[in-house]
Structure 1
Amino acid sequence: MRVNAVGLNEEAVSAWIAGLGVGAIAPLTFERIGNGQSNLTYAVNDAGGGRWVLRRPPLGTLLSSAHDVVREHRILSSLQGSKVPVPKILGLTEDPEITDAPLVLMSYVAGVVLDGVPAAEKLTPEQRGAVGLALPRTLGRIHGVDLEDTGLTDLASHKPYAERQLRRWSAQWEKSRTRDVPAVEELAAVLSRNIPEQSEVALVHGDFHLNNVIVDPDEGEVLSVVDWELCTLGEPLADLGALLAYWPEAGDGVAGPFMASTLEGFPSRAELVEAYAERTGRDVANVGYWHVLALWKLAIIAEGVLRRILDDPRNTAKDGGPTATLVDGIIDRAVRTAADEGLA
């Protein structure tokens, strides 16, 4: 069995794609793309200029329920034809003769992913501003999804979201941490003491930021939202808080892979919140809590990625991956933000 692209049996996967009726012309080539540190993403190109995108879970041993591309397939399939811009779903296989893990094939969306400062520097300040403000508007579309119409009512629990998140990610920390960091447990306690009342249950993307959208910078539009593996049901302000967590400003002094938003033209975090409130009409008074929870969760996710890379270096993305120093920086920002928001 010949395996060229890491994590793929190219011959078997090529035969599977050829049988889907998508017009693929042999031979197919596979190339890992993106800076994603969780599910692995590949560009699939054929001899006729056709292009698709393939997703699979990370390599090696995974935590239970993590990186479920079958679940992601269900979510994206349910959103086909909705107001949420997503790729077209073309196929799913779990056949052990083809792959050692589930594979999902989807359409390729032509556009720009602003996955770092170099990509964002190609835009004008005006384009950056338009793209930035398109993100909270797109969040409004996600949070406006009718769960009954899309068949997603049973996607996840309807119990209070903050409690669910605190339980889940505290458990993930215990399973994946590489060292002791007392501030993680201290932040969990602060968050537990300050949970705001939840008034609705909506579709929550769970990982919404610049890296996970494909945009048209000329029109200032989001063409597609990708990476739905953390999607669930819960408090919509949690997604807005996550966007803020992934949106450093020039004065924050936090180095890391998500620094594009520090460039001139991108809106401030306050402007993102204002745009979301205007689009949805929701009360955003408690968004600070969800900002802190998202930073805490981001640190745990980064630590988990670090653990996977240490356990299996094949999971390393093209830009390397998180370090203990980066994780500590995110935790420090979470502690400062909690203090700024009056959480104690």
Structure 2
Amino acid sequence: MVWLSLVLIGTYCTFQPDISKVIKGYEMPANPIRILPVFLFSICFIFGAIPVSAEVAVILSRDDFEPYQEARQGFEETCTAPTKVFAFEVENRETRQYKQRSIDEALNYIQKGNPELICAIGTQAFLAVLQVAPAQIPIVAAMVKSPEQLIQDSLATGHTIYAVDFFVSSDIVMETIRSTYPELKSIGIIYYETSQSLVDELRAEADTRNLQVIAEVADGNNPLPALRNVSTSADLFLIIDNAMIGGSAFDVLLGFQKPIISLIHNPRMVRKGALFGFLLQSRENGRAVGQIANTILAGGKVTPPFPKMTKAALAVNQKVRDLLNVPVPNNFDILEKYNTIE
């Protein structure tokens, strides 16, 4: 190791009366003062007085998924430390099988490479890292949904973990709805039980704005009973997961002729007939996680440990807007516009 060599040379040379015996061809008479800086540099290097660049391991859940690559770019644009990037390589997209070699390479590096920090991008990478990462290495995660629940389920109590949820914050969602539709009284949500924590957050924010949330848990095979219970009282529908996507459920939802807003970060819902949807801001998510990484590497404190996105952009279906004769938010960038209903 270089630092050990410097220490040995510095120590020996400091007390060696004839330096020419240490460095061949050097004829200057011995002078401990000339060698002392080498010795001091070595000591400073060991004890951290001279900063050394920390390496960050970046692990992507998939090598072929563009949002993960965008999140990586955002992270590297923001994080000041050098990075070493690994990606789980997809072997079969239909069955979502991965090349085991690519997974082993990434996880072996985490176990043996001793990075200063790990950035996991995507849920699969996040869960895989938790299984092998030494407890003393901090983990930051990008592009994960409800990270608090993931961490609780993983039982990774020994790790220091921070993550930025890719959902836009609930207060922004509810403030957008209230400011756009000031006369609105109630919001209907049909959801899976796995989204309960998000529903609770949305309900709390709605209460502060005098909005009623009517929420029903959907049966995985048949969400229509839950939809019927909600539809009679709701003035607007909010889609937060896949509960209303399968089968004819979304077509039934369209039949109520009420605005549909999608929190699913996929413009497909807007193309199918939602009024507007919040788009996934992958690069911004990566940048937010990069800022957290900088704080950790500098020895600072991150509060809260699981912030949500504060920046958003929209996809808007202009045909639905015209049919319902309702406004769309004007305080966000509209990145995608559609004029048809699939």
**TM, length-normalised to structure 2:** 0.21
Q: Which has the higher contact order (CA 8 A, sep 6+)?
A: 1
- Which has the higher Rg, Structure 1 or Structure 2? 2
